[in-house]
């Protein structure tokens, strides 16, 4: 039932490291009062163990409900019913609806990868295409922006979102960059900090643009569009004289 070997509940002290360090927001020292693990407190293995099947059923039901009802329409009771589980079981594992949805969506983003396709242009195009594909799923479409919105007011949730959704995407950019450098397409990094900033910009440009295109402008991401976008990114501004 679970082809992907999901790690059930480790991270006794998550190595996250996350973003550059200090963001613009206060951020209570990060991981301040966050004893809840990735999925829940999970006992030390004494009594009856948690049902892994229930975990999976709940996450699947959450994605299904998201696709059917959207973020606003999704209710914990409904998810529990779809999963064939009591509502209380949901709350034993996830502290709130938002956190549940984070985990349900995050697993989709695990599928992102950045294979080396021989050129930077090809690599970027492939990532954009894959990313756009994810963002056209009704469940991600319904959830992603709502999660970001919720996160803007809840540091704990924001940390989870960054950790589980944002950072994995950012890694792709670093990966693609390293590949391009290995191929001799790009200068090797001179300065660690400068490289990080560079990666940050590229990441915001790619992720932000695709998200805006699909979720705000509401227009499709076609192969032609991807090519135009990537070309704009790599080359000079189109139509610019001199």
Question: Pick from 24, 29, 35, 47: which binds a second copy (CB under 8 A)?
Answer: 24
If binding is defined by CB under 7 A, does position 43 make contact with DNA? yes
By three-state DSSP, how is residue 99 classified?
helix
Residue 146 beta carbon to a second copy: minimum distance, rounded to whole angstroms? 4
Q: Using CA atoms, how far apart are residues 98 and 147, in angstroms rounded to an integer? A: 7
Q: Which of 20, 51, 75, 111 binds a second copy (CB under 8 A)?
A: 20
Integer Cα distance of 220 and 214 in angstroms: 6
The residue with tokens 């064939």 is 84
The window from 43-51, 152-160, 163-171, 182-190 that contacts DNA (CB under 7 A) reads 43-51
CA distance 95 to 81: 18
Which of 154, 196 has the CB closer to DNA? Answer: 154
Does residue number 161 form part of the binding site for DNA (CB under 7 A)? no
Tell whether residue 28 is a contact of DNA (CB under 7 A). no
> What would the two tokens of residue 55 be?
């975990």
Residue 84 within binding range of DNA, rule CB under 7 A = yes
| Residue count (the chain) | 242
- 156-215 positions binding a second copy, by CB under 8 A: 158, 162, 166, 184-187, 197-198, 200-205, 207-213, 215
Q: Which is nearer to DNA, 48 or 153 (CB)?
A: 48
Measured CA to CA, the distance from residue 83 to residue 54 in angstroms comes to 7
Q: How far apart are CB 188 and a second copy at their closest, in Å?
A: 9
Residues 58, 137: Cα–Cα separation, whole Å: 18
Nearest residue to 141 (alpha-carbon basis) of 68, 83, 76: 68
Q: Which phi-psi region, left, alpha or beta, contains residue 184 (left: φ > 0; alpha: ψ -120 to 50)?
A: left
Q: For the chain, what is the radius of gyration of the CA atoms?
A: 20
Q: Which of 7, 24, 29, 88 binds DNA (CB under 7 A)?
A: 88
Q: What is the DSSP letter of 84?
A: T
- Minimum Å gap between C-beta 92 and a second copy is 23
* 23 in contact with a second copy (CB under 8 A): yes
- Cα–Cα distance for residue pair 26/23, rounded to 1 Å: 8
Contact positions vs DNA (CB under 7 A): 41-51, 54, 74-78, 84-89, 91-93, 95-97
Contact positions vs a second copy (CB under 8 A): 19-20, 23-25, 70-73, 120, 141-142, 144-146, 148-150, 152-153, 158, 162, 166, 184-187, 197-198, 200-205, 207-213, 215-220, 225, 228-229, 232-242
């Amino acid at each position: 039932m679970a082809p992907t070997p999901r790690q059930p509940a480790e991270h006794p002290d998550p190595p996250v490291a996350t973003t550059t360090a200090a963001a613009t927001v206060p951020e209570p020292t990060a991981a301040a009062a966050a004893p809840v693990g990735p999925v829940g407190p999970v006992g030390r293995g004494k009594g009856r163990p948690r049902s892994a099947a229930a975990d999976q059923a709940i996450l699947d039901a959450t994605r299904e409900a998201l696709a059917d009802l959207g973020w606003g329409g999704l209710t914990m009771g409904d998810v529990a019913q779809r999963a064939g589980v009591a509502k209380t079981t949901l709350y034993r594992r996830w502290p709130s609806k938002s956190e549940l949805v984070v985990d349900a969506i995050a697993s989709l983003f695990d599928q992102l990868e950045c294979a080396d396709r021989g050129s930077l242009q090809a690599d970027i195009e492939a990532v954009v295409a894959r990313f756009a594909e994810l963002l056209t799923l009704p469940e991600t479409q319904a959830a992603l922006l709502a999660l970001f919105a919720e996160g803007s007011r809840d540091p704990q949730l924001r940390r989870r979102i960054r950790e589980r959704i944002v950072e994995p995407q950012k890694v792709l950019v670093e990966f693609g960059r390293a590949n391009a450098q290995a191929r001799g397409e790009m200068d090797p990094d001179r300065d660690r900090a400068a490289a990080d900033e560079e990666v940050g910009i590229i990441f915001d440009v790619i992720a932000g643009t695709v998200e805006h295109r699909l979720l705000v402008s509401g227009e499709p991401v076609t192969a032609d569009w991807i090519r135009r976008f990537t070309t704009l990114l790599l080359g000079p501004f189109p139509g610019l004289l001199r």
